[in-house]
Structure 1
């Protein structure tokens, strides 16, 4: 009996810490998932490749900012959804990889990133992605449009490809869904009930009619390879899962296997 009495305050403290941790995670989830770097409205983008800055007025309070990187004689367009950090200025190198393979690139910033404004919600991001598709369709038919997502952007890309036709869906370092990713990092909370951001790539992927290519570094410690492998089980016949041996989340560009994967993805 005495031992049980001594254990009660310890268990109470453990429970309190657990609950406080869960509350903190809930209220901090936006800061943990998104790492935007806003830019002033008069910021001048500078790139070594031809580009056009686009500002799409959604309503009186929301503006969608995007960059169209222009290939000389494009055979199509890549709609590129970037990761969770900074803004489009970080990803010009990714645009160059596509341009070298004959594609112009349309790349948007999420709300709060760069010059994009508006509420940073999952539905707003999806709606803005659809605007990007509408822009791309002014230049090319669906069979010349590749939807490409990296890291955070993979869920966005998968959702768009699930509702619109395209030539191919490319997912680089994708997560199964946000709750699954959080569980892999700290498997102590019921994230599926706690998170406002779901990005259920696993639900969208089976709805994608276009060919799919998944590229994932085997030593990725940000989005583990196991996430890509779980998604690979949902692929159709003819789809590709391409692991890049030795690559981490941020150094895929350093590996020849990644270059070959892009050659396949951006045919």
Structure 2
């Protein structure tokens, strides 16, 4: 529990940030209105044809209205960005480096962890972690985690991989986003993409001849997909494994709204039955049925997505990234939990279909649904399928010994 003396600095900082935000928005709105008025007045004096013969006052007023509208839009978008960052990113700091002492022994090869340090321009120092064997390396897997994961959280998966395979030529790069782990900065599509580039470039200086493969879970699927779409690797495109991916953030916002309504409306109905002076049969006639609400939701969904698209700053457009990555030659596998209530498996299926449309050859393994798996346990419950798609399956695994 925090001491009261520790809380007040946070309160003051939060209040100052809020006042600063309002000040910025007010300045943007007033400046937009002023510039719009000046532009409108200037157009009025150019000539009547340009202002449709309007009066001297009409064009400046119209310009001011347009400027105020732009300022108001910037205001809405700014606060939408604050809300999005609050809901989307859950960064955690990591100061305990005891996991760096872990090693794994596979036959005559020892796996150990190394730090990969690099600087993100205008942000600060960044750190990723390379789990590599002591022998030859021909494949580098780059792992991107979910919005509440740290790079070290992948070690459980890596431990299980090394327990079920005797292949000793794979290395694993575990990436933290800006603002996560020991990294400075704040996460965004642009900062994550730049940081991913630099982390991979720093690693490839140590492993110049490896084939790069990418795996991302949830938000990490978006990070991996945009990296595949943006970078032409020297080794050429490889495998891109997307675990529980979403289509984009506007679609996710509508999905979360539908989940909220589907769980909240029945509770509201129950409260209404107890509080309002109506019989239940009367309320059933007055309130829309669940079927009609579902139909209305399906009809409104495209409109809501279109409305949110210009407002949301961090869109994380997986649809675009998957199409571009497929065109670039990446072989894409999508895995999704059948019982994922946060990101429905239909989103993963949609992305797999987009990849299939862009691919020159259709594949049966483009999409895999993991039975009885949700969002957070799909990697472990579908472990065998992940291993198979990643080419790590070994018929006769040799269990390693791990130690700290």
Please provide the CA RMSD for this pair: 2.5
Is 2:94 the partner of 1:39? yes
Is 2:241 aligned against 1:170? Answer: yes
Verify: 1:147 aligned to 2:214, yes or no. Answer: yes
- Taking structure 1 as the reference length, the TM-score comes to 0.81
Higher-helix-fraction structure: 2
Q: Note the alpha carbon deviations across 1:34-63, whole angstroms, 9 max, x for none.
A: 1111134xx424153310122212346411
Q: Is the Cα contact below 8 Å between 2:126 and 2:183 reproduced in 1?
A: yes
**What per-residue deviation string (whole Å, max 9, x for no partner) do you get for residues 78-123 of structure 1?**
0111111042222211233454454211111111111011232220
Aligned match of 2:346 in 223, 226, 230? 226
| Counterpart for residue 87 of structure 1 | 150
Tell whether the 8 Å contact from 2:143 to 2:216 is kept in structure 1 after alignment: yes
- Report if aligned partners of 1:219, 1:245 keep a CA contact under 8 Å in 2: yes
What residue number does 1:250 align with? 376
Deviating beyond 6 angstroms after TM superposition, the runs of 4 or more aligned structure 1 residues are 21-24
Of 252, 256, 277, which aligns to 1:181? 252
Count, aligned residues: 243
TM-superposition CA deviations, 1:148-201 (whole Å, max 9, x none): 111101111111111334321111111111111111111585321221111111
Counterpart of 1:211 (choices 320, 328, 331) is 331
Q: Deviations over 1:190-223 (max 9, x none)?
A: 3212211111110011112121111111111121
Identify which of structures 1 and 2 has the higher relative contact order when contacts are C-alpha pairs closer than 8 Å and 6+ apart. Answer: 2
Superposition pairs for residues 39-188 of structure 1, below 5 Å?
39-40=94-95, 43-47=96-100, 48-49=102-103, 50-59=112-121, 61-73=123-135, 74-99=137-162, 100=165, 102=168, 103-138=170-205, 139-141=207-209, 144-163=211-230, 164=232, 165-186=236-257
Contact 2:337 2:345 in 1 (8 A): yes
C-alpha spacing 1:121/1:23, structure 2 compared with 1 (3 Å)? closer
- Mind listing any 5+ residue stretches in structure 1 that lack a counterpart? 1-20
Q: Which residue in the other structure is 2:308 paired with?
A: 191
- Structure 1 residues 98 and 141, CA, compared in 2 at 3 Å: closer, same or farther? farther
Residues of 2 paired with 1:253 and 1:119: CA distance?
27
Measure, in 2, the Cα distance between the counterparts of 1:32 and 1:83: 13
Structure 2 Cα separation of the partners of residues 198 and 61 of structure 1:
22
Equivalent of residue 319 in structure 2, options 202, 216, 241: 202
- Equivalent of residue 240 in structure 1, options 366, 374, 380: 366
Of residues 381, 385, 389, the one that matches 1:264 is 389
| 1:27 to 2:152 alignment | no
Residues in 1 aligned to 2:92 and 2:244: alpha-carbon distance in whole angstroms? 22
Structure number with larger C-alpha Rg: 2
Helix, strand or coil at the partner of 1:194: coil
The more displaced of 94-103 and 223-232 is 94-103
Q: Distance in 2 between matches of 1:98 and 1:161?
A: 23
Q: Distance in 2 between matches of 1:32 and 1:232?
A: 26
Q: 1:134 to 1:97 in 2, by over 3 A?
A: farther
